[in-house]
Amino acid sequence: MNKLSFFAFAALLLTPLAALHAADVQRPNVLFIIVDDLTTTLGCYGDHDAPTPHMDALAARGVRFDRAYTQFALCNPSRCSFLTGCYPERTKVFDLTTSLRKALPDVVTLPQLFKNAGYTAGRIGKVFHVPDPRTKLDVELGAPLHKDGRILDEAKLAERSEGDLSDPPRKSAKEGNLYNRCYAPSSRPDSDFTDYQIADEAMQTLESFKAKPFFLAVGFIRPHTPYVAPQRFFDLIDPAKILMPAFYQPGGEDLAQMPKAALRPNNNVFRYQAPSVKEAREARRAYLAASAWADSQVGRVLAKLKELHLDDNTIILLTGDHGYQLGEHGLWAKQTLFEEGTHVPLIVVAPGVKPAVCAGLVEQVDIYPTLAGLAGLTIPKHVEGTTLQPLLADPAAKGKPVVFSTMVSTHTKLIGHSVSTDRFRYIEWDEGRGGRQLYDHESDPHELTNLADKPMQAERIQRMRNRLANHLKAVSGE
CB-based burial, 252-263: b 16+ in 10 Å, e otherwise: ebeeeebbebbb
Q: For the ranges 27-41, 94-108, 257-271, which has the lowest average pLDDT?
A: 257-271
Residue 446 lies in a domain: no
**Farthest CA pair distance, the chain:** 75
Instruction: Check: CB of residue 367 under 8 Å from CB of residue 79.
Output: no
How far apart (Å, rounded) are the C-alpha atoms in residues 237 and 230? 13
- CATH classification at residue 384: 3.40.720.10
| Rounded average pLDDT over 191-216 | 97
pLDDT at 429 over 60: yes
- 102 in the Ramachandran plot: left (φ > 0), alpha (ψ -120 to 50) or beta? alpha
Residue 448 lies in a domain: no
Instruction: Check: CB of residue 81 under 8 Å from CB of residue 114.
Output: no
Q: Into how many domains does the chain fold?
A: 1
How far apart (Å, rounded) are the C-alpha atoms in residues 134 and 128? 12
Residue 208 lies in a domain: yes
- 125 in the Ramachandran plot: left (φ > 0), alpha (ψ -120 to 50) or beta? left
> Tens of pLDDT along 22-48?
445 589 999 999 999 999 999 999 999
First and final C-alpha spacing in the chain: 26
The residue among 213, 215, 223, 218 whose CA lies nearest residue 201 is 218
pLDDT at 173 over 90: no
Q: What is the length of the chain?
A: 478
> Tens of pLDDT along 74-90?
999 999 999 999 999 99
HEC letters along 119-169? CEEEEEECCCCCCCCCCCCCEEECCCCHHHHHHHHHHHHHHHHCCCCCCCC
In terms of residue numbers, what domain contains 385? Answer: 29-393
CA angle, corner 267, sides to 266 and 269, nearest 5?
A: 80
Residue 422 lies in a domain: no
Instruction: Check: CB of residue 365 under 8 Å from CB of residue 72.
Output: no
How far apart (Å, rounded) are the C-alpha atoms in residues 233 and 349? 27
Q: Is the pTM of this model over 0.85?
A: yes
> Is the Cα dihedral 348, 353, 357, 358 positive or negative?
negative
* Average pLDDT score, the chain: 93
Q: Tell me what pLDDT residue 73 has.
A: 98
Instruction: Check: CB of residue 46 under 8 Å from CB of residue 381.
Output: no
Q: Tell me what pLDDT residue 20 has.
A: 38
Residue 247 lies in a domain: yes
CB count in 10 Å sphere of residue 23? 12
Instruction: Check: CB of residue 294 under 8 Å from CB of residue 10.
Output: no
Question: How large is the angle between the packed helices 53-61 and 277-307, nearest 10 degrees?
Answer: 50
pLDDT at 12 over 60: no
Residue 21 lies in a domain: no
pLDDT at 146 over 90: no
CA distances from 86 to 15, 129, 366 (A): 36, 16, 9
Residue 92 lies in a domain: yes
Residue 13 lies in a domain: no
Instruction: Check: CB of residue 348 under 8 Å from CB of residue 317.
Output: yes
pLDDT at 3 over 60: no
Q: Tell me what pLDDT residue 11 has.
A: 42
Percent of the chain with pLDDT over 70: 93
Q: How confident is the model at residue 240 (pLDDT cuts 50, 70, 90)?
A: very high
How far apart (Å, rounded) are the C-alpha atoms in residues 68 and 386? 13
